Every structure is written in structure tokens, then in C-alpha cells.
Amino acid sequence: MAKTIDEDLGQLERDIRQLKIEYEQYFGGGKARPPSEIEWRIDTMLKRYSDRGAEMKYSQRFRYGNLTQMYSKYREMFRKRMKQKEEGTVQRHFGAAAREIEAERARQRAEAEKAEAVRLPFAVSWDDPDREKKKVEQLFAAFREAKAQAGEDTEPLTMEAFQKFVRQKTLELKKQKDAHEVEYVVSLEDNHARLKARVKS
């Protein structure tokens, strides 16, 4: 059975994370060879979707763009470390590798916090989400990005389930508060993704 775009993007995200883990093991001396097979698989998938932007929804293009950026950043980092390794400027013992990995994680956390300041919190409002699909896709993409930044699993999150949730929540709040419009806000709080809904006065 053919895979959906979301399934392919989910596999791509898992492969990129696995690539990083295996490269760290390689640079730390735990693996004899770099993970070329995973790298080839990622390159193949990225090329496949680079010309298929028109087939993807906004949320899928947003996710694809983020994964491409993440992969490019990792590749540049691996290229530099590979060069150091070939030139013999990197110590092979575990302590040095562990410190290098921790320094890279700290740099990534700082980048994530910086990105968070730019993109989050994200807010949209509507009267009927079924008539404003673009806004629902933007909110879905922002919530997915917040979960990714918080290190939470984004795999179970689907557009269909999200659309159903905001439809029910909007109807419920409008009925309870006798309101015409509901606002949704995505934010990061205590390193957890949060999605809050409230009526607009």
C-alpha cells in the first residue's frame, strides 16, 4: 500500500534524528563507519518531495521546510566534524565526544529558544473553522512546531483529528459563552507545548 505524504514526512523526521544519533556514535568511537545508508535514504526522500510542493498542504510544506533546514544544519555540522576527524584534530576518547555533543545540544537549545521568540506564541481566531481551513492549517503547523521544539512526539498528531478537535471546541465555547468568535493560542510553557482556546469579547 502506498504511503501518504504525512507518513513519508514522519519517516523522514525519524531518519534525521536517527542519523544524528548514529553520527554521534561514530564520532564517539562506537561505530566503525558513518551512517551512509540513512543519509542516502534522507537525500532520496528530500529530492522526491522538492518538486512536489503543489501536492502538499500548507502544514506539510511547513513541516518539510523545517526538516530540510534541520538536515542541512546537521550535515554542515557532520561535515566539519568529519574534516576534523580526518585531520586528526578530534580526540577519540569518550569524554571529549560527550563534551562536544553536550555543547552542540546547548547550541541547539539556544537556537530553539531564539526561534520560539520569533514564532511563538501563535494566535488565530475564527467564527467557524470549517470555513477557514487556512487558519486551521496554520494553527496545526504552529502547534506541531511547538511540540517539536519541546521534544514531544508529533507522530500521533494528524490534521483530521486536529480539525475535529477545534470544530468541537469552537462549538462548545460559543454555546457556553454565547460568543461569535473563538481565539486559539499556541505557546511553550515550562518546555511543554500548550494550545489554549478562549472566546473573544
Number of C-beta neighbours around residue 164 at 10 A: 12
Q: What is the pLDDT of residues 112-134, one digit of tens each?
A: 554 444 367 889 898 898 999 89
Verify that 95 and 141 share a domain, yes or no: no
Same domain, 101 and 20: yes
How many structural domains are present in the chain?
A: 2
SS3 at position 32 = coil
Q: What is the pLDDT of residue 90?
A: 52
Same domain, 52 and 144: no
Residues 109 and 163 both lie in one domain = no
Tens digits of residue pLDDT in 57-76: 888 889 999 999 999 998 89
Ramachandran class of 91: left when φ > 0, alpha when ψ lies in -120 to 50, beta otherwise:
beta
Contacts of 15 (CB under 8 A, 6+ apart): 38, 41, 42, 45
Last residue of a domain, one of 78, 95, 117: 117
Average pLDDT, the chain: 83
CA distance 169 to 177: 12
For residues 65 and 130, membership in a common domain is answered with no
Residues 106 and 147 in one domain: no
What is residue 1's predicted lDDT score, i.e. its pLDDT? Answer: 44
Q: In the structure, how many helices (H) and strands (E) does the chain have?
A: 6, 3
Q: Is the pLDDT of residue 148 over 80?
A: yes
Q: Are 181 and 189 in contact (CB under 8 A)?
A: no
Residues 113 and 132 in one domain: no
Q: In Å, how far from its chain's centre is CA 140?
A: 12
Provide the domain limits for residue 35. 5-117
Grid coordinates representing 173 are 465555547
My answer on whether 64 and 16 are in the same domain is yes
Cis omega before residue 121 (within 30°)? Answer: yes
Q: pTM of the entire structure?
A: 0.44
In this prediction, residues 99-103 reach a mean pLDDT of 73
| Statement to judge: residues 65 and 102 lie in one domain | yes
